[in-house]
């Protein structure tokens, strides 16, 4: 399948151009965010700011939606606009939204309602927005897409599973396009949980090649891809294969590996066993933070790499293991790359992208 | 059925109506409605619910009621399918849920907001409680895994996705369905929407006053003809088609014209290569809310005619949210196999605004094909077509 358009919203901005600029600019520090119950009342995190969204009309249209849904709608809409394909609603697009934690911030807001006001006086609007598929529904209604609209979750591999499903649906002609993406949100409770379970990066820097011990900085964002069977739109690249939980040797055949190491696991050494010294490796989590579905942003970076034939240096290069890193931004001539992710069981998921 | 047909070689269910398919059918036949006051949590509300009673203590995993229900239904489905060893097959697992996918533990959150700290036990349970993942690990399944969180159509969508996987060759066998426990949070949420019935639900009835929540799990084992042959398994019931479509209309209300539901049903019929007139009966979503039943009844009448044999089983199970599609798939397959469907519990007075009425007594069904529909919060709609080998 072909990546016809990309929409993205993350801490560094909105849209593919923002991603390109962030990749060229390199590491930027995260921001202190309010954490009323944490020591010092602040935590470091990479958070989305809607000021970066150039056209606010869509946000106005979904003003009652929560932040998760707004991020998803902006990214999904961005993917359609980026593709340049018009009248997508009439072209049988399916929506597949992947999320690890869904609307947890709104869910905790609903729990606040229950705790504050009792069972009988909770807000129906908050409840509506807390339902997992609210974000996908907002995408469908705001973009007027009357087609299969799916929300799926598989924690670390949510986005990969969504891509796998999109491939099957496109092959079976259940849809002509698939609008596939991932979205996850930072929240105070999640910040507390990750702070308890994972080591925080004292300087705000995720060091994706250290692998053990790891450090993390919570992040959030959304990345959507308009996928087609045939070459269409901007045709960034092809998605040649999606492999989940299987060992394979294809990683050695790619011209570049992009790993999603982000400090979500205390020990991410497993990545090293999948990498070849012959192939350079990049990692971009230091730009967007630690998030279960961050691979979607890595895949967007990979698609941009292939389309522009531009290798983007990894933003943080601490490399105690002597891995073969992509350490300089430069023009290139490559045909394929592999985006790798690792779950808490040490299993692998991979997306193979090819030049169109 | 053709060689591409997907066999249903096993089914497992648990709900307020029974802890197995046979127990449930007997309960249906007797017209039992096992609803009552909520006992699973303390609440200031007094709306009845369909709780699953008498779950053996040994089957209850602490703090993981949805998973407990899942594993009970799974056990029955695997036994019927005689699937104890997955080696040699790529087995996929696709499960729908709502509650199991949300970190919504009130005690955990209360502790955190009051003290800034909370034991992470409930978080760990949540992180280790992804239904598809748990099933796959228990079975050593090496195929695709996915948990679908598409609100009330999750179970139907999960089965439909499994059908896609099987047809795409991503797996040979798929375990699919849905599960949800009765939980405090959606109980309050549905009440806030003003759609919970203070009495027992009455799907499609003129005087319907809303839904009752329930809980349960419904799972089917699906497999390609090739995999079944290799295992020596067989079945006379098949999954033939799936369709899904959103209304793109409103977060909590269905499109008045039923645009998405029509599209989903049409897609499912097309995939099954049958026409509307081939359908022997429809197990409708039929929640008992004013809007759902009006839209669904109108669409079914338009597409299948006013004489269609149609029912809702939610009068026996309550609305089990993510489990509903799994349970109703198993009930629909059982109806085709048994040749009868139960009375649509709760229905007594025809609503003149709905051009079709559900069956009001146990009814024989003749024919080889049946449909199960789900309408979801968010405007999603899904439909599955089932078939039975043999004469019409």
Segment B370-383, tens digit of pLDDT:
999 999 999 999 99
Given an 8 Å threshold on Cβ–Cβ distance, is B165 in contact with A114?
Answer: no
Given an 8 Å threshold on Cβ–Cβ distance, is B110 in contact with A115?
Answer: yes
Q: What percentage of chain B reaches a pLDDT higher than 90?
A: 94
Q: Per-residue pLDDT averaged across A134-150, rounded?
A: 96
User: In Å, how far are A98, A219, B43, B105 from B186, measured between CA atoms?
Assistant: 22, 28, 12, 12
Number of helical H runs and strand E runs in chain A: 11, 15
Q: Per-residue pLDDT averaged across B238-266, rounded?
A: 95
Question: How does residue B391 score in pLDDT terms, banded at 50, 70 and 90?
Answer: very low
Q: Per-residue pLDDT averaged across A151-155, rounded?
A: 97
What single DSSP character describes residue A170? Answer: H
* Contact residues on chain A for B165, CB-CB shorter than 8 A: 168
* Contact residues on chain B for A154, CB-CB shorter than 8 A: 130, 132-133, 145-147
Name the residue facing A150 among B123, B148, B187 (closest C-beta).
B148
Question: How does residue B206 score in pLDDT terms, banded at 50, 70 and 90?
Answer: very high
**Residues with Cβ < 8 Å from A263, sequence gap 6 or more?**
A198, A199, A201, A206, A207, A208, A214, A215, A216, A217, A285, A290
Q: What percentage of chain B reaches a pLDDT higher than 70?
A: 99
Given an 8 Å threshold on Cβ–Cβ distance, is A112 in contact with B116?
Answer: no
* Contact residues on chain A for B168, CB-CB shorter than 8 A: 167-168, 171-172
The ipTM is: 0.97
Question: How does residue A250 score in pLDDT terms, banded at 50, 70 and 90?
Answer: low
Ramachandran region of residue B345, left (φ > 0), alpha (ψ -120 to 50) or beta? beta
pLDDT of B1 above 60: no
Q: What is the pLDDT of residue B184?
A: 97
Q: What are phi and psi of B14, to 5 degrees?
A: -150, 130
Look at A197-201, A252-256, B212-216, B320-324 and tell me which has the smallest mean pLDDT. A252-256
pLDDT of B74 above 60: yes
Alpha-carbon gap: A122 to the closest alpha carbon of chain B (Å): 6
Q: What percentage of chain A reaches a pLDDT higher than 90?
A: 94
Alpha-carbon gap: B365 to the closest alpha carbon of chain A (Å): 31
pLDDT of B54 above 90: no
CB distance B177 to B217 below 8 Å: yes
3-class state of residue A171 by DSSP = helix
CB distance B262 to B290 below 8 Å: no
Three-class SS of chain B: CCCCCEEEEEEEEEECCECCHHHHHHHHHHCCCCCECCCCCCCCCCCCEECCCCCCHHHCCCCCHHHHHHHHHHHHHHHHHCCCCCCCCCEEEEEECCHHHCCCCHHHHHHHHHHCCCCCHHHHHHHCCCHHHHHHHHHCCCCCEEEECCHHHHHHHHHHHHHHHHHHCCCCEEEEEEEECCCHHHHHHHHHCCCECCCCCCCCECCCCCECEECEEEEEEEEEHHHHHHHCCCCCEEEEEEEEEECCCCCCCCCCCCHHHHHHHHHHHHHHCCCHHHEEEEECCCCCCHHHHHHHHHHHHHHHCCCCCEECCHHHHCECHHHHHHHHHHHHHHHHHHCEECCCCCCCCECCCCCCCCCCCCEECCCCEEEEEEEECCCEEEEEEEEECCCC
CB distance B347 to B193 below 8 Å: no
A77-97 pLDDT, tens digit each: 999 999 999 988 888 899 999
CB distance B262 to B359 below 8 Å: no
* Contact residues on chain A for B267, CB-CB shorter than 8 A: 174
CB distance A76 to A224 below 8 Å: yes
Q: What is the pLDDT of residue A245?
A: 86
* Contact residues on chain B for A133, CB-CB shorter than 8 A: 149-151, 376-378, 380
Given an 8 Å threshold on Cβ–Cβ distance, is A133 in contact with B377?
Answer: yes
* Contact residues on chain A for B184, CB-CB shorter than 8 A: 114, 119
pLDDT of A98 above 70: yes
Domains present along chain A, CATH in parentheses: 2-354 (3.40.47.10)
Q: What is the pTM of this model?
A: 0.98
Q: What is the pLDDT of residue B392?
A: 42
Q: What is the pLDDT of residue A90?
A: 85
Alpha-carbon gap: B146 to the closest alpha carbon of chain A (Å): 6
Q: What is the largest CA-CA distance in chain B?
A: 67
Q: Which of A98, A108, A151 to mutate to test the interface with B (most CBs of B within 10 A)?
A: A151
Alpha-carbon span A107 to A124, nearest angstrom = 12
Given an 8 Å threshold on Cβ–Cβ distance, is B188 in contact with A244?
Answer: no
A20-51 pLDDT, tens digit each: 999 999 999 999 999 999 888 999 999 999 99
| Cα angle: B372, vertex B375, B378; to 5 degrees | 155
3-class state of residue A188 by DSSP = helix
- Looking from the CA of B210 toward its CB, the CA atoms found within 13 Å total 15
The torsion angle over the Cα atoms of residues B48, A124, B249 and A186, rounded to 10 degrees, is -120
**Residues with Cβ < 8 Å from A300, sequence gap 6 or more?**
A6, A8, A16, A19, A223, A225
CB distance A356 to A237 below 8 Å: yes
A50-66 pLDDT, tens digit each: 999 999 999 999 999 99
Q: Per-residue pLDDT averaged across A313-319, rounded?
A: 98
Tell me which H or E stretch contains A73: helix A67-83
Question: How does residue B3 score in pLDDT terms, banded at 50, 70 and 90?
Answer: low
User: In Å, how far are A70, B54, B334 from A49, measured between CA atoms?
Assistant: 11, 50, 52
Question: Of the candidates B101, B125, B126, which has an alpha carbon nearest to the alpha carbon of residue B180?
Answer: B101
pLDDT of A251 above 90: no
Q: What is the largest CA-CA distance in chain A?
A: 63
Q: What is the pLDDT of residue A126?
A: 97
Q: What is the pLDDT of residue B381?
A: 98
Alpha-carbon A175 to chain mean position: 23
Given an 8 Å threshold on Cβ–Cβ distance, is B167 in contact with A137?
Answer: no
Q: Which of A92, A124, A149 to mutate to test the interface with B (most CBs of B within 10 A)?
A: A149
Name the residue facing B192 among A122, A129, A148 (closest C-beta).
A122
Q: Per-residue pLDDT averaged across B254-276, rounded?
A: 97
A199-247 pLDDT, tens digit each: 999 999 999 999 999 999 999 999 999 999 999 999 999 999 999 986 5
Active site residues of B: 152, 285, 319
Question: How does residue B126 score in pLDDT terms, banded at 50, 70 and 90?
Answer: very high
When comparing pLDDT for B5 and B181, which is higher?
B181
B298-349 pLDDT, tens digit each: 999 999 999 999 999 999 999 999 999 999 999 999 999 999 999 999 999 9
């Amino acid at each position: 399948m072909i990546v016809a358009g990309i929409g993205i919203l993350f801490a560094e901005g909105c849209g593919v151009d923002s991603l390109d600029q962030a990749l060229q600019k390199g590491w930027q520090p995260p921001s202190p965010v309010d954490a009323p119950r944490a020591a010092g009342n602040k935590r470091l995190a990479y958070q989305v700011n809607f000021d970066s969204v150039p056209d606010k009309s869509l946000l106005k249209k979904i003003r009652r939606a929560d932040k998760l849904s707004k991020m998803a709608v902006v990214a999904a809409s961005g993917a359609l606009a980026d593709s340049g394909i018009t009248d997508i609603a009439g072209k049988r697009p399916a929506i597949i939204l992947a999320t690890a934690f869904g609307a947890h911030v709104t869910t905790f807001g609903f729990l606040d309602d229950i705790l504050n006001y009792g069972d009988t006086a909770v807000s129906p609007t908050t409840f509506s927005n807390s339902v997992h598929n609210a974000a996908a529904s907002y995408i469908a209604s705001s973009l007027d897409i009357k087609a299969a609209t799916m929300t799926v979750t598989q924690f670390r591999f949510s986005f990969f599973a969504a891509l796998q499903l999109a491939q099957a649906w496109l092959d079976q002609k259940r849809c002509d396009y698939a609008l596939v993406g991932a979205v996850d949100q930072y929240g105070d409770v999640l910040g507390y949980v990750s702070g308890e379970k994972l080591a925080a990066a004292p300087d705000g820097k995720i060091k994706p090649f250290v692998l053990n011990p790891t450090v993390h900085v919570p992040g959030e964002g959304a990345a959507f891809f308009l996928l087609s069977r045939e070459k269409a739109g901007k045709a960034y690249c092809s998605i040649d294969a999606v492999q989940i939980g299987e060992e394979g040797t294809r990683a050695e055949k790619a011209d570049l590996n992009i790993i999603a190491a982000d400090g979500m696991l205390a020990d991410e050494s497993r990545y090293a066993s999948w990498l070849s010294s012959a192939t350079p490796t990049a990692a971009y989590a230091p730009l967007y933070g630690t998030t279960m579905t961050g691979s979607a942003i890595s895949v967007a970076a990979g698609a941009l790499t292939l389309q522009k034939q531009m290798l983007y240096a990894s933003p943080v290069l601490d490399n105690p293991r002597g891995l073969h890193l992509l350490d300089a931004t430069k023009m290139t001539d490559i045909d394929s790359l592999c985006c790798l992710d690792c779950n808490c069981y040490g299993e692998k998921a991979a997306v193979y992208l090819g030049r169109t | 059925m053709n060689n591409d047909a997907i066999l249903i070689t096993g089914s497992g269910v648990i709900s307020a109506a029974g802890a197995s398919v046979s127990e449930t059918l007997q309960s249906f036949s007797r017209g039992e409605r096992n609803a009552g006051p909520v006992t699973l949590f303390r609440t200031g509300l007094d709306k009845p619910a369909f709780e699953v009673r008498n779950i053996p203590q040994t089957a209850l995993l602490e703090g993981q009621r949805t998973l407990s229900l899942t594993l009970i239904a799974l056990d029955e489905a695997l036994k019927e399918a005689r699937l104890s060893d997955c080696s040699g097959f790529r087995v996929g697992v696709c499960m729908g849920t709502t509650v199991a996918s949300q970190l919504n533990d009130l005690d955990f959150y209360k502790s955190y907001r009051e003290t800034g700290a909370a034991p992470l036990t409930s978080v760990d349970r949540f992180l280790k409680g992804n239904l598809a993942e748990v099933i796959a690990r228990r079975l050593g399944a090496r195929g695709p895994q996915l948990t679908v969180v598409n609100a009330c159509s999750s179970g139907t969508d999960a089965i439909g996705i499994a059908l896609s996987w099987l047809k795409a060759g991503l797996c040979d066998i798929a375990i699919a369905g849905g599960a949800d426990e009765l939980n405090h949070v959606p109980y309050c949420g549905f009440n806030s929407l003003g759609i919970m019935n203070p009495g027992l639900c009455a799907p499609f009835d003129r005087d319907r006053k809303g839904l009752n929540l329930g809980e349960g799990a419904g799972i089917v084992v699906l497999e390609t003809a090739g995999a079944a042959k290799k295992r020596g398994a067989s079945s006379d019931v098949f999954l033939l088609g799936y369709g899904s479509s959103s209304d793109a209309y409103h977060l909590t209300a269905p499109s008045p014209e039923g645009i998405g539901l029509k599209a989903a049903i049409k897609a499912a019929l097309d995939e099954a290569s049958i026409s509307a007139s081939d359908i022997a009966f429809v197990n409708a979503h039929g929640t008992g809310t004013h809007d759902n039943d009006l839209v669904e009844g109108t669409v079914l009448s338009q597409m299948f005619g006013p004489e269609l044999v149609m029912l809702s089983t939610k009068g026996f199970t309550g609305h089990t949210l993510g489990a509903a599609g799994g349970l109703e798939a198993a009930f629909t397959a059982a109806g085709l196999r048994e040749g009868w469907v139960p009375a649509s519990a709760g229905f007594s007075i025809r609503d003149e605004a709905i051009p079709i009425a559900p069956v009001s007594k146990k009814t024989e069904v003749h024919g080889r094909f049946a449909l199960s529909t789900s309408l979801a919060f968010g405007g999603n709609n899904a439909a599955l077509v089932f078939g039975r080998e043999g004469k019409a």
